[in-house]
Amino acid sequence: MKKLLLAFTMLGLATAASAADPLHGTVWKTIDDSTKQAKAQVVFNQQADGTLSANIQRIFGGDAGGICSSCEGKYHNKSLQGVTIVSGLKPIGNNQYEGGEILDPKNGKTYRLKGELTQQNKVLKLRGYLGVALLGRDQVWQRIQ
């Protein structure tokens, strides 16, 4: 009986560990802080290590085909489409995330990131910051799919 219980426990833990995060495969509309207009369409994917990343799929409005001239490294002077804007985001439970980074294409800087899924997983509240979360800014993304 103990062996059977242990086997079911191990199976349950393995299943929980391999389950996809609620952000995996979802598509979001980013909103510009100042204009409140949609800026880009972003898709999240779960990596093999369990962290999440997000890539820009599409640019909306006047920035269509925009170039990331402020970005450094492999994205310097490249199209914003395809840029990994979020990386290393870790689920910590209760639809909360931390430990990631977010790229701001306007200035090319990367900030630490934490976030929260709210409103039945239709809204993603993100906080990008340097050093301490109190010294940062918030963004709200709206789920498309």
Q: In the chain, how many domains are there?
A: 1
Range of the domain at 94: 21-143
Q: Is 44 exposed, middle or buried (0-12, 13-18, 19+ CB in 10 A)?
A: buried
Cα gap 99→75, rounded to integer Å? 22
pLDDT band at 78 (very low <50, low <70, confident <90, very high): confident
Cα separation, 28 vs 123, whole angstroms: 9
Give the pLDDT mean for 16-35. 83
| CATH code of 64's domain | 2.40.128.520
Q: What is the pLDDT averaged over residues 1-14?
A: 46
Helices (H), the chain: 2-18
Q: How far is CA 32 from CA 11, 51, 53, 105, in A?
A: 44, 25, 20, 12
pLDDT of 64 > 70? The answer is: no
